[in-house]
Chains A and B, each alone.
Chain A
């Protein structure tokens, strides 16, 4: 069975090659089928290996080849499947498969559909490499690869300069984080002498290092995660990334790529757990991101941007979880989030599809009757993300809040913010839902909303089912469950969690069940508030935004972070570049280049006279050479 591991990433690569090389020779339908089938095959192999893993209980490994060998530093290219990467593989291929199928319907008629599917397959390959590699370097390969695919897919409709610029922005902002990752790798190589997870993530070798070094490495890795997972302060690229096709937003910018940062920290959990400073930084940044992104989502009117800020916010939750040492909880939320956020994006895509490209929620409303399937599936997603009881988001979010509250890195303040954010989440998600499907019809006469074809609604239904029941893999023990997911992941994360001495139960005011009731209250509160504001009394939001005009402007302007960066980083760089271009480049560099050309021309004109064309002159010069050789030999 081990020898089949390579097939998991190989099939998407094959799909990429077929779609990439075949190009326009493949029919539109064919290219979608090829792309979906290869991902499906990967999923099937992933499932069978999952069964194998459950039987054996030890990680499956396969070494393909030695990538780099310099002195006693070697990097092998090998794939490892332990419980953590198996979870990721199943999420990537499973959710990915549904999104590929959905794309066949969504992208129908797009002239670049073969290019689209080849990028999507390449992304799947890179993401699988990211989660399956057994060393930092191969992981970085996947890390950069998914970044590249993200760039390509955000700017998929590159004829539109705004969309092309959004892709560029995502890529450049990601580079900042990637540099952090790279620096961390350099530091790891110099301190550990290897990049293999097996050697680096080892208690004894970590214990040999000073705490400062560990903190530096983990903070740099975290910088990489911040860039990739769009946390404060590098979150600015994700809302712009919504310029890409909606299934791309679902796959890359909700379900898989943006969670790579969480995966990275969970993977290196033992290393992170060794630095208290880093853990605290992660937890605080995570919770703050969750909070601020949620506030922005409150006023956003673009349906996809609401979801984008919601993604940032949920990622913040995941970071808060891993930041307090609850790696399993973070990954649990990652999985459920992949289900319900993938669903929400696809449902939003269905709405956009039905509304002929309209994304502004102010021009929607009353779509319930027109799109019943989308309505019900989206309701499942919205309810799940809001944390309504017994849905997937409820279990995972609750586990995070409980860990934030009880862990030594967390505390009451972080928990309070998290709980408030949960209420806001419920509010803005139901706001989106009500604005889209209930209330007056605000669309113009030209658009005729319609339900999407079956090929789009079936993935929606499947994801909706997963969003509803997905949480049952991790029912907490306090509710009489066994938390299978937690136990399953323990095989990968127990070292790290063992490192952190949780002081549950001692000196805590609230038990897990009481916390649960609190978060249910928050969720239902948010839901009711949204119902009151956007269904019963649609005039209230306007009044509130008027009375709180400064706060409203701040939030709806996204805290003006883009403008801030523009002022402090982009403008000086642009001006500097312009200076170099106009002054330095044109006068000095071009001067040198053209000047050397002119010198050669003049020299050539002079030297041309040597070539007389008289044979005897050439003979004389040859003779001179003979004489030189003789004297050289004589004097030697």
Chain B
């Protein structure tokens, strides 16, 4: 019961910080808030018994990716958006309307879809490193290797793009 309560509290914090990420005008604040969001998501993963992913979330997203973001923001020095956008243009109204529709659609779809699902009996521990490791190095060995190649390609691409003249 306390765990459920914790889930809802953390969920609220996640949504709040995510909203602030999007609505904040200062890019640095956005980045920091996004780190906070990722921490919250990590806690949610823990609550969903995905321990390994919770660690990875902090390591990769909060650690590596967001540092990269902050680095670029600092490098380019684009802290604040120069032109203050008008709050409610026609375009935004339409977008907002679409978002609401989307959210309603996803919710309806989920609620209806979940009813047809059947949770298997018993509880197996799946979130630990052992289970994921076994899956990665047996059933998903090939995608795993492909992922490594993807990273290599991205590395090369980044090095190329970062050259002075393109």
Contact, chains A and B (beta carbon distance below 8 A) = yes
- Min distance, Cβ A610 to any Cβ of chain B, angstroms: 14
Interface residues of A (CB under 8 A from B): 616-617, 620, 623-624, 626-627, 630-631, 633-634
Q: Are A634 and B105 in contact (CB under 8 A)?
A: yes
- Min distance, Cβ A622 to any Cβ of chain B, angstroms: 11
- Min distance, Cβ B95 to any Cβ of chain A, angstroms: 6
Interface 9-mer from B12-20, B106-114, B132-140: B106-114
Neighbouring A residues of B101 by C-beta, 8 Å: 627
Can you report 5 A-B residue pairs in the complex whose CB atoms are below 8 A from each other? A620-B91, A624-B98, A627-B101, A627-B102, A630-B102
Q: Are B112 and A634 in contact (CB under 8 A)?
A: yes
Q: Are B98 and A631 in contact (CB under 8 A)?
A: no
Flag whether B48 is at the interface (Cβ < 8 A). Answer: no
Since A620-B98, A623-B102, A627-B101 are in contact, a sample of 7 more A-B pairs with Cβ atoms closer than 8 Å, ordered by chain A residue number, is: A616-B91, A623-B98, A626-B102, A627-B105, A630-B105, A630-B109, A634-B105
Flag whether B94 is at the interface (Cβ < 8 A). Answer: yes
Q: Are B95 and A620 in contact (CB under 8 A)?
A: yes
Q: In the complex, A630 Cα to B110 Cα: how many Å?
A: 11
Q: How large is the interface on B (under 10, 10 to 19, 20 to 34, 35 or more residues)?
A: 10 to 19
Q: In the complex, A624 Cα to B112 Cα: how many Å?
A: 22
Neighbouring A residues of B106 by C-beta, 8 Å: 630
- Min distance, Cβ A115 to any Cβ of chain B, angstroms: 60
Q: In the complex, A623 Cα to B91 Cα: how many Å?
A: 14
Which residue on A lies nearest to B106, using beta carbons?
Answer: A630
B105-143 near A? 1/0 per residue, CB < 8 Å: 110110010000000000000000000000000000000
Q: Which of B137-166 contact A (CB under 8 A)?
A: none
Q: In the complex, A275 Cα to B11 Cα: how many Å?
A: 100
Q: Are A627 and B112 in contact (CB under 8 A)?
A: no
Q: Are B109 and A620 in contact (CB under 8 A)?
A: no
Q: In the complex, A617 Cα to B106 Cα: how many Å?
A: 22
Neighbouring B residues of A617 by C-beta, 8 Å: 91
Neighbouring A residues of B109 by C-beta, 8 Å: 630, 633-634
Q: In the complex, A623 Cα to B109 Cα: how many Å?
A: 17
Neighbouring B residues of A630 by C-beta, 8 Å: 102, 105-106, 109
Q: In the complex, A627 Cα to B108 Cα: how many Å?
A: 12
Q: Are A634 and B102 in contact (CB under 8 A)?
A: no
Lowest 5 CB-CB distances: which A-B pairs, in order? Answer: A630-B105, A634-B109, A627-B102, A631-B105, A627-B101
B89-101 near A? 1/0 per residue, CB < 8 Å: 0010011001001
Which residue on B lies nearest to A627, using beta carbons?
Answer: B102
- Min distance, Cβ A435 to any Cβ of chain B, angstroms: 93
Q: In the complex, A627 Cα to B98 Cα: how many Å?
A: 8
Q: In the complex, A630 Cα to B105 Cα: how many Å?
A: 7
Neighbouring B residues of A631 by C-beta, 8 Å: 105
Neighbouring B residues of A634 by C-beta, 8 Å: 105, 108-109, 112
- Min distance, Cβ A627 to any Cβ of chain B, angstroms: 5
Q: In the complex, A631 Cα to B104 Cα: how many Å?
A: 10
Q: In the complex, A19 Cα to B23 Cα: how many Å?
A: 82
Which residue on B lies nearest to A620, using beta carbons?
Answer: B95
Which residue on A lies nearest to B95, using beta carbons?
Answer: A620
Which residue on B lies nearest to A634, using beta carbons?
Answer: B109
Q: In the complex, A616 Cα to B91 Cα: how many Å?
A: 10
Neighbouring B residues of A620 by C-beta, 8 Å: 91, 94-95, 98
- Min distance, Cβ A304 to any Cβ of chain B, angstroms: 81
Neighbouring A residues of B112 by C-beta, 8 Å: 634
- Min distance, Cβ A608 to any Cβ of chain B, angstroms: 19
Q: For B101, B102, B105, which residue has the most chain A Cβ atoms within 10 angstroms?
A: B105
Which residue on B lies nearest to A616, using beta carbons?
Answer: B91
- Min distance, Cβ B140 to any Cβ of chain A, angstroms: 27
Q: In the complex, A626 Cα to B109 Cα: how many Å?
A: 13
- Min distance, Cβ B136 to any Cβ of chain A, angstroms: 30
Q: For A617, A626, A627, A633, which residue has the most chain B Cβ atoms within 10 angstroms?
A: A627
- Min distance, Cβ B51 to any Cβ of chain A, angstroms: 32
- Min distance, Cβ A244 to any Cβ of chain B, angstroms: 71
Neighbouring A residues of B98 by C-beta, 8 Å: 620, 623-624, 627
Which residue on A lies nearest to B99, using beta carbons?
Answer: A623
- Min distance, Cβ B39 to any Cβ of chain A, angstroms: 28
- Min distance, Cβ B89 to any Cβ of chain A, angstroms: 11
Neighbouring B residues of A624 by C-beta, 8 Å: 98
Q: In the complex, A633 Cα to B94 Cα: how many Å?
A: 23
Neighbouring B residues of A627 by C-beta, 8 Å: 98, 101-102, 105
Neighbouring A residues of B94 by C-beta, 8 Å: 620
Neighbouring A residues of B102 by C-beta, 8 Å: 623, 626-627, 630
Q: In the complex, A630 Cα to B91 Cα: how many Å?
A: 22
Q: In the complex, A631 Cα to B94 Cα: how many Å?
A: 18
Which residue on A lies nearest to B94, using beta carbons?
Answer: A620
Q: In the complex, A253 Cα to B95 Cα: how many Å?
A: 82
- Min distance, Cβ B31 to any Cβ of chain A, angstroms: 21
Which residue on A lies nearest to B105, using beta carbons?
Answer: A630
Neighbouring A residues of B108 by C-beta, 8 Å: 634
- Min distance, Cβ A591 to any Cβ of chain B, angstroms: 41
Q: In the complex, A339 Cα to B106 Cα: how many Å?
A: 94
Q: In the complex, A616 Cα to B85 Cα: how many Å?
A: 14
Q: In the complex, A633 Cα to B106 Cα: how many Å?
A: 11
Q: In the complex, A491 Cα to B43 Cα: how many Å?
A: 104
Which residue on B lies nearest to A614, using beta carbons?
Answer: B91
Neighbouring B residues of A616 by C-beta, 8 Å: 91
Q: In the complex, A630 Cα to B108 Cα: how many Å?
A: 10
Q: In the complex, A626 Cα to B103 Cα: how many Å?
A: 11
- Min distance, Cβ B67 to any Cβ of chain A, angstroms: 27
Q: In the complex, A416 Cα to B95 Cα: how many Å?
A: 102
Neighbouring B residues of A626 by C-beta, 8 Å: 102
Q: In the complex, A626 Cα to B106 Cα: how many Å?
A: 11
Q: In the complex, A624 Cα to B102 Cα: how many Å?
A: 9
Q: In the complex, A623 Cα to B95 Cα: how many Å?
A: 9
Q: In the complex, A631 Cα to B107 Cα: how many Å?
A: 11
Q: In the complex, A328 Cα to B121 Cα: how many Å?
A: 99
Q: In the complex, A627 Cα to B101 Cα: how many Å?
A: 8
Q: In the complex, A633 Cα to B113 Cα: how many Å?
A: 11
- Min distance, Cβ A609 to any Cβ of chain B, angstroms: 15
Q: In the complex, A634 Cα to B106 Cα: how many Å?
A: 9
- Min distance, Cβ A395 to any Cβ of chain B, angstroms: 92
Neighbouring B residues of A633 by C-beta, 8 Å: 109
Which residue on B lies nearest to A630, using beta carbons?
Answer: B105
Q: In the complex, A624 Cα to B106 Cα: how many Å?
A: 13
B63-100 near A? 1/0 per residue, CB < 8 Å: 00000000000000000000000000001001100100
Q: In the complex, A634 Cα to B94 Cα: how many Å?
A: 22
- Min distance, Cβ B113 to any Cβ of chain A, angstroms: 9
Q: In the complex, A634 Cα to B109 Cα: how many Å?
A: 6
Which residue on B lies nearest to A624, using beta carbons?
Answer: B98
- Min distance, Cβ B161 to any Cβ of chain A, angstroms: 19
Q: In the complex, A630 Cα to B101 Cα: how many Å?
A: 10
- Min distance, Cβ A469 to any Cβ of chain B, angstroms: 90
Which residue on A lies nearest to B112, using beta carbons?
Answer: A634
Q: In the complex, A353 Cα to B135 Cα: how many Å?
A: 97
- Min distance, Cβ B129 to any Cβ of chain A, angstroms: 35
- Min distance, Cβ B114 to any Cβ of chain A, angstroms: 13
Q: In the complex, A630 Cα to B94 Cα: how many Å?
A: 18
